[in-house]
Structure 1
Amino acid sequence: MTSESSLPAQITVKRTFWRTAFLMLLSIGLLLYYRQILQFYTPLAIADTITHIKQEHLLNTALILDIVYFIVVVISLHLFWVMLITISCIPWIKSNYSDNTKTLIWLTIFTTHLTLSLALNSILYPTSLLAFLRDTLLDSWAAVILLAIPSGLLLLHALWQLIGRFTTSVLFTILTAGILTGLNSYPGYQEKQQSPNIIIIGIDGLRPDHLAHRGMTPQLAPGLNSFLSNSIIFDKTYTPMARTYVAWMSLLKGQYPVTHEARFNLTDPDIVDKKFPLLQQLKNKNYRTLYAMDERRFNHIDEEYGFDRVIGPKLGAADAIITHSADLPLVNLLVNTSLSEYLMPFLNLNRAYGKAYNPENFNQRVISSMATDRPNFVAVHFCMLHWPYTSREFIADLPVPWQGNYNHYMYQAMLPKMDAQFSAFMDQLKRSGQLDNALVYVFSDHGEGFNLPRDQLTTSSTEPTELQVNAWGHGTNILNQPQSEVLLAFNRFQDGEPAIAPAIVDGLYSLIDIAPTLFSQLGLSNPAHAFDGEALHPETVPNMSNGDRLVFTESSIPVKAINTSFIDEKKVVSETASKYEINSLGRPQLKTELYPELLEKKQRAVYSDNWQLAILPDQQQPVLVNTQSLQLHQLSDYKGDAPWQVMLRALCEHYQDDPGFDEHGYCKQVETMAHSRY
């Protein structure tokens, strides 16, 4: 006779739960292993490259809490999924079927759930590394429906038995109503306002020469090109520095970096003056102020800078780790729901998580956050054009040829996606009444270098030069003109339509001109600090003239390893890791004590008309560039009529307080150099 202790364990609800949990863990482990084979670099190595996180930084309490919170959320979500699968099995567990049959039913239900999640992930997020069911029979909504209906019915049947039909029906109704409400949440229509809305739209990395007014095929960005064709374009505009945070700080303050002292991305916020006089005066006029950005790892602007609300992913060093660890079907399926704002704040509205980023959600969040009963000041930044040029969908065929430059081709492939986001945003503004009375500025924070032949500088000397006359990236080389030249356009809207005559304005302009222009347009009181920028008076375009204008620009931290088509993360880390730290909020920042050393390495330049004069820390003398012909001259060899003396004096005065500037003493020799030519 067989003893009771030797009988096989019966299948129970508890046992089914733990079997499901184990099988779920095994499945996730296999998915992660498969993903790692494709990803090559570990998430920490990628984070190390992007935000300079080293292993010693992982001891930071705030960073640890951010990562632990994400891990706990992911585990909890999968355990909840395990619970749903277990509940679906309960009617069968309590049936009179044999244990083998119950096990087969359980495995079928589990496999159906897992396959359903993988199929949905492949359909909704085809660029996910785990979208391996794409281009199979399961890559269709018909297959999803065939998998979802039995899974849903089994769960409903089990719930009816556990809690009753009435309670189940109530829960199902509440869930359905919540989903439909989220899908159909439209912003209200703005009441007529006497004061205009102010809308500043930044487009990350947009090169003006990739737009129709500069000769590029209009099909790459039809919506933006249409907007520009009805706007005033300030044709030759430069960024004070080709980095996002510094560019926005300069724009909002109307000052050069040497004045507001935010000289680098990830500058320690404690040494930056966070008060924007523009925001302070607009708040006094009852404006609601919003700042929205869909990729914030290099930009610390938040509510402390004076905005009523900041929209975008959570700031922190954990961003780079989480965005490169999160690619799991269940995470992807929830990241674009309203729950992700609380459960996955680093992934919510984050363009850096390109495989799942939905620009429509970002647009909707911005529009729905705008006031309908008072005027708005909205500063929004779209990062679709930013490296590494990934998106939720695969790229479409382009009306431009492949020329062997991968980064440039992918950049052009992102232009239509950026354009779709911009066009949808403008359409939503119009439909919500936010363009019935509005001032709209569109700009790019910096351009981008792709080492293109057309960007190559030529030298007037027959002697070989050691100067780097072309470059990759942005903020790396001020001689690479596309890095610093940016878009700047203005339009006034009345009743949803453009209300000014379009024009392309010659001259020389800077992003620091936007703040003083707004002060002039709105009749605001002059701030206590002086503007470095100039009011543009776009309503009087025919009378504009600034032929003697000088505009300054400077480089960021020089990183030789970034000046390549494909970044070697080990070289980048070896160059940059020691310059950063993680602060008490878990955010990466530049070490303040290294500021003087890094300032010494900056490149600096001044523009006048079609000329650029630059002082480079590794060169014995200044260089002069004709920005039309792209010809470079060593200043000591130049014999033409460029106003280099005026430019050199201005450059020396502008940067005279920077440590290590002009170590070769050219600023002291301006007059001597001028007399020696004639």
Structure 2
Amino acid sequence: MIFKLMSFQTGRGPAVRYWVGGFLLSVLLLSSLSGCKFWKAAPKPNFVVILIDTLRPDFLEAYGYPEQTAPFIARLAETSAVFEQAYSTSSWTAPAVSSLFTSNYPHQHGVVQGFFAYKIRKQSIAEQAITINRLPSDITTLPEIFKQLSYTTFGVAANVNLGSEIGFKRGFDHYVHERRLPAKLFLEQVKKWQPELDQANPFFLYLHFNDVHGPYKKRKAYFREPDDPKDYLRAKYISEIGYVDEYLGKIYELLKKKENTIFVLVSDHGEEFFEHGQKGHGFKLYNELTHVLMIFHALNGRIKPQRIKVNTSLVDVLPTLIDLAGEKSRPKMKGLSLKPILENNDQAPMLLQTLRERVLFAHRYMSINQRHVWAAFDRNYYLIERSKHEDELYDVNKDKKQRDNIYSKNQKQATDLHLELQRFKAQDHREKTEEIEIAVDDKLNKHLQSLGYVQ
């Protein structure tokens, strides 16, 4: 084979010469290697997405809690990317997890009514029914996307809202949904799936724990009697965190033998312990309810250990997973891929600046009185919009506990966030939601009452 040296005149100085023959040789070699058994595309990573329902990150030592509550998560955080300022899109499960599964905000995916806050009539409970929203059929959800990407998909969920009624089962090859399934049985289920997980290439696994959600059990191995009886409820909640953490560690040990696996730990919302006069996660959007856990961890070191102090949201998780899988984000997703930060590549500085400047949002709808509450917040201020004369504004740098409402004193900042919120409400607002009516029997009613979901 003969290769000829060719030269081209640019018109600006001496001729520029190109080794065309060498270039053609390279092309031929690459073409032959592409059919060779040694030439393989990089394998897609496995994903394990773990959601701990109702977990407040500020109750973890990994996020600054002064006592040990979750030692496994603390150890994992040391070799992970920890997002310290991650936020939910709502203060309860159905809309928040719908945002995780779609990268849309509640008014965009339309799931604002679930198994929460319905009125019981005085007549027989057998006649009672509840109307809930379904994930819209025109949105491809997280497990559906990964199934399309040739992943074998597995899921276990223990929250009543995560069943087939709302549509969370869509896209899973294997799915177990059982109300109040304890963390110990999550471990047993993963063990049962171990042979299939080993054979899957690749796999996607979603685990939705509900132990930290009320009603809390007193887990003896982790319960510490509080000095003040008023803190008894909080002590039980913390014991549940320790219990879940124990089984997270055991599940991690089972799954870590596949080095090409990425773990993601998140929570869907937080919990109030009378910071603003009540307990649980009711019709509010304060920081203790919207601040969530977000940790990314890769067994092969692909994700750089770091602490990130810019605002992120649950809507960012799905675009990030798709990007880490080597695919392009889907249209209409509202979140941003965090991959440049996770890998600390040359695009990270620009993305960090974008995150510093963005405004995030949250929403809560109460179907029994058709009321809405909205939140809009940036790195400096946090606006809560209810109705006229009830709006609140907080300086998030000086007042993290949101005790000093400065709305009347800072009209410019309040107006700026109101305008951002107005634009946001109009963005891809879903005019018509998909609904389904569910019969409520005595068993379901008692379960919803135990969760505090009945008013």
CA contact (8 A) 1:303 1:309 kept: no
Match among 134, 137, 144 for residue 273 of structure 1: 137
CA distance in 2, matches of 1:242, 1:226: 28
Report the equivalent of 1:161.
none
Question: Greater helix share, 1 or 2?
Answer: 1
CA contact (8 A) 2:141 2:171 kept: no
CA contact (8 A) 1:243 1:556 kept: no
CA contact (8 A) 2:48 2:262 kept: yes
Report the equivalent of 2:409.
638
- Is residue 2:263 matched to residue 1:493? no
CA distance in 2, matches of 1:383, 1:289: 20
CA distance in 1, matches of 2:106, 2:161: 20
Query: Aligned pair count?
Result: 363
1:241-278 CA deviation, whole Å, 9 max, x = no partner?
A: 12222222101111101111111324635573374254
- Is residue 2:371 matched to residue 1:540? no
Residue pairs, 1:527-606, within 5 angstroms:
527=330, 529-537=331-339, 538-540=342-344, 543=349, 544-545=352-353, 546-557=355-366, 598=370, 601-606=371-376
Task: Output the amino acid matched with 1:243.
Answer: W
Match among 42, 66, 79 for residue 230 of structure 1: 79
Question: Structure with the greater relative contact order (CA < 8 A, sep ≥ 6): 1 or 2?
Answer: 2
Match among 484, 489, 497 for residue 290 of structure 2: 484
RMSD: 3.0
Larger radius of gyration: 1
- Is residue 2:393 matched to residue 1:624? yes
Residues 500 and 639 (structure 1), Cα distance of their counterparts in 2 relative to 1, 3 Å cut: closer
Task: Output the amino acid matched with 1:202.
Answer: L
CA contact (8 A) 1:193 1:374 kept: no
Residues 207 and 271 (structure 1), Cα distance of their counterparts in 2 relative to 1, 3 Å cut: closer
Residues 274 and 491 (structure 1), Cα distance of their counterparts in 2 relative to 1, 3 Å cut: farther
Match among 141, 147, 159 for residue 295 of structure 1: 159
Question: Greater strand share, 1 or 2?
Answer: 2
Give the TM-score, by structure 1 length.
0.49
CA contact (8 A) 1:218 1:225 kept: no
Match among 269, 276, 291 for residue 446 of structure 1: 269
Match among 284, 292, 306 for residue 503 of structure 1: 306
1:291-324 CA deviation, whole Å, 9 max, x = no partner?
A: 21133356545575221121132xxxxx6xxxxx
Report the equivalent of 1:462.
none
CA contact (8 A) 2:147 2:172 kept: no
Task: Output the amino acid matched with 1:555.
Answer: R
- Is residue 2:250 matched to residue 1:424? yes
CA distance in 2, matches of 1:368, 1:533: 34
CA distance in 2, matches of 1:235, 1:287: 30
Task: Output the amino acid matched with 1:539.
Answer: E
Task: Output the amino acid matched with 1:350.
Answer: L
Task: Output the amino acid matched with 1:228.
Answer: A
Give the match's secondary structure for 2:327.
coil
CA distance in 2, matches of 1:634, 1:303: 40
CA distance in 1, matches of 2:284, 2:430: 19
1:573-631 CA deviation, whole Å, 9 max, x = no partner?
A: xxxxxx6xxxxxxxxxxxxxxxxx62xx12111011131111113x5253211233134
CA contact (8 A) 2:91 2:269 kept: yes
Residue pairs, 1:114-125, within 5 angstroms:
none
CA distance in 2, matches of 1:221, 1:240: 25
Match among 371, 390, 393 for residue 217 of structure 2: 390
CA distance in 2, matches of 1:639, 1:248: 33
Report the equivalent of 1:136.
none
Task: Output the amino acid matched with 1:638.
Answer: K
CA distance in 1, matches of 2:246, 2:385: 40
CA contact (8 A) 1:274 1:305 kept: no
More moved, 227-236 vs 517-526? 517-526
CA distance in 2, matches of 1:486, 1:303: 21
- Is residue 2:455 matched to residue 1:653? no
CA distance in 2, matches of 1:416, 1:253: 30
Report the equivalent of 1:370.
197
Task: Output the amino acid matched with 1:551.
Answer: L
Give the TM-score, by structure 2 length.
0.72
Give the match's secondary structure for 2:372.
coil
Q: State the 1:552 CA deviation.
A: 0.4
CA distance in 1, matches of 2:420, 2:265: 29
Residues 515 and 500 (structure 1), Cα distance of their counterparts in 2 relative to 1, 3 Å cut: closer
CA contact (8 A) 1:241 1:475 kept: no
Task: Output the amino acid matched with 1:486.
Answer: V
CA contact (8 A) 1:253 1:531 kept: yes
Q: State the 1:557 CA deviation.
A: 2.4
Give the match's secondary structure for 2:217.
coil
Q: State the 1:230 CA deviation.
A: 1.4
- Structure 2: gaps of 5 or more residues: 1-40, 116-130, 432-455
Q: State the 1:408 CA deviation.
A: 0.9
